[in-house]
Structure 1
């Protein structure tokens, strides 16, 4: 397990987002990416996992594929990135960097309406 300070972790999240293809980022609107130490009980329930399971990230919002014509004037969707859980499965800062990128991509997949099974098929599970 590798641990880094919050400032460094935040920098790695910014780098991960900046490394995404511009054509993908151009389609992402009204989404905040936040860093949290660990998921809450509510987050675990939303993700359908137990208290001892690791959760690396969580998309909170309405996927693009489920938005109707009345979708407007809403608070931003949110992608939570859970620092302690990512650190728990990584041995080095480079592994943390790569896991953050995979987690951001995975959660953006949910934003675009892609479910976990399909993300797994795409190698983003």
Structure 2
């Protein structure tokens, strides 16, 4: 399902805005960016091959791994991959739901939750 960039950006903003305020209040110094597709470096970081889909990627140090010397650092980044999400969706509603799920998944990594636990929580 093709969704233009403006609509996709709106769906990402909606996903972030839908988060509970108490959760959103704990998110600091993180940029959420939309990228067309992952780079070779992103794929390597995610441990996937060149033909695998990657919907999102958290670039940073999870809250649970930050020590007392963690300060004056560039923002962490969450990349949301537009074309890969489109590739698995058949309608705008499916894109909306997948964007939300992907944003939540990557924020889970920000909070230090690993893929196995995210899967258990239904956010895999």
TM-score of the superposition, structure 2-length normalised?
Answer: 0.99
Alpha-carbon offset, residue 82 of structure 1: 0.0
The superposition leaves residues 74-115 of structure 1 with CA deviations (integer Å, 9 ceiling, x where unpaired) of 000000000000000000000000000000000000000000
Q: Which runs of 5+ in 2 are unaligned?
A: none
Once the two structures are superposed, residues 32-62 of structure 1 have per-residue CA deviations (whole angstroms, 9 ceiling, x without a partner) of 0000000000000000000000000000000
Q: Does 1:42 align with 2:41?
A: yes
2:81 and 2:55 map into 1 onto residues whose CA distance is 5
2:23, 2:100 → 1: CA distance?
14
Task: Tell me the TM-score normalised to structure 1 length.
Answer: 0.98
Q: CA deviation at 1:123?
A: 0.4
